[in-house]
A and B are shown apart, each in its own frame.
Chain A
Amino acid sequence: MKPSERPLTLSAVEHIVLDMLAAKGDRMYGLELVAESGGRLKRGTVYVTLGRMIQKGLLEAEAEKFTDDSGLVPRRMYRATSYGLRVLRVWTVATESLAWEAGS
């Protein structure tokens, strides 16, 4: 089965990332996501997750633009795609519905 043919799944970490980006409504860089996650995202794993999410089409990334010649590697800024936001909505509704059914 090719990756594109696989049913879409959203891991807990991917859900957290999408949730944070949707809540912020703006671009965030990796370390910012880790810092604002309150310990839910780990620095050593978040970049691998972000890379995977880009491959899935959930996120898009672009290099930060500098106004001065600082000589630093530009940070990668991440933003949820419209597809990613749709997936987040569907996933949230599905999990809440399942949780409600399990609770009733």
Chain B
Amino acid sequence: MSTSRLGMTLLSWAARVCEPESIDTVALPIIADIQFEAQANAHRPLLARAWTRVRGYTAFFKAIALTVLLGYGRNPMQSKALGWLRLLLAIPAALLVTLVVQYGATALFWRVLVHPGPRQVNGLVFLEGVNLVKVVISPFMAAAFFWTMYLIAPRHRRAPVALAALVVIGLWGGLMLFGAVMPWPRFSVWLFALGLALWLGGALSYWLARRLLRPVAEAA
């Protein structure tokens, strides 16, 4: 079987996002129809031919998008694309959830640690209170980032995603620790504590995830 260069490009693109079965049942028939339609319209004016092509390619992309969206979970044509989409979605979703957790946890601990704090005088907030809130919420932020990545990732990719999330949290905390000791000989205790708190949240989450993954690995 041979096909035009554009047909091959469309096919190779579809192969990246669809299961082989979807290629056979959806992508190939459309490409074949586009080719035959182009051949049948070869005598028509350029604009008419171009319009036919545009309609053909629009139908192709629409059908592939539908295959990816509807095929998932309904039939054996379970799409690789949705898996990749979930992986890509995991990063912005994890950042968003982390921000929400940061906001919520700050609001919660602010009331406990800052507002009625014994060192609050004349309505002023002490830096120590604010820093303490930051340290306390850090493990929650790390956990929020980790678990969002972990839960959004496809089941079979959870182990590498958990490791990747741990590395990100490790770098994140490491940056804090670096910032704490970098203006040597000055040393920021709060920044150091912040880095350790992030590492603590990440490490605990990873340990728990490993425990959750173990039965899956044993079953496999």
- Note all chain B residues with C-beta closer than 8 A to A61: 25, 29
B21-72 residues at the A interface, CB under 8 angstroms = 22, 25-26, 28-33, 35-37, 39, 55-56, 58-59, 62-63, 66-67, 70-71
CA distance A15 to B110 in the complex (A): 62
Residue of A nearest to B67 (CB): A48
List 8 tightest A-B contacts by C-beta distance, closest first. Answer: A44-B62, A51-B25, A76-B29, A43-B59, A73-B32, A31-B33, A44-B59, A75-B32
Residues of A within 8 A of B (CB): 3, 29-31, 42-45, 47-48, 50-52, 54-55, 61, 64, 71-76
Using known A-B contacts A31-B36, A75-B36, determine if residue A48 contacts B31 with beta carbons closer than 8 Å. Answer: no
Using known A-B contacts A29-B29, A47-B29, A48-B63, determine if residue A72 contacts B75 with beta carbons closer than 8 Å. Answer: no
A-contacting 9-mer, from B1-9, B152-160, B170-178: B1-9
A71 CB contact (under 8 Å) in B2, B62, B70: B2
CA distance A45 to B63 in the complex (A): 6
Contact call B25/A50, Cβ cutoff below 8 A? yes
CA distance A28 to B58 in the complex (A): 22
CB contacts between A and B, total, < 8 Å:
72
A24 CB, nearest partner CB in chain B, Å: 17
- Note all chain A residues with C-beta closer than 8 A to B77: 51
- Note all chain A residues with C-beta closer than 8 A to B30: 30, 47
CA distance A76 to B36 in the complex (A): 12
CA distance A55 to B22 in the complex (A): 11
- Note all chain A residues with C-beta closer than 8 A to B56: 43
CA distance A13 to B29 in the complex (A): 18
B40 CB, nearest partner CB in chain A, Å: 10
Contact call B3/A54, Cβ cutoff below 8 A? no
Contact call A29/B39, Cβ cutoff below 8 A? no
Contact call A48/B66, Cβ cutoff below 8 A? yes
Contact call A31/B1, Cβ cutoff below 8 A? no
- Note all chain A residues with C-beta closer than 8 A to B29: 29-30, 47, 50, 61, 75-76
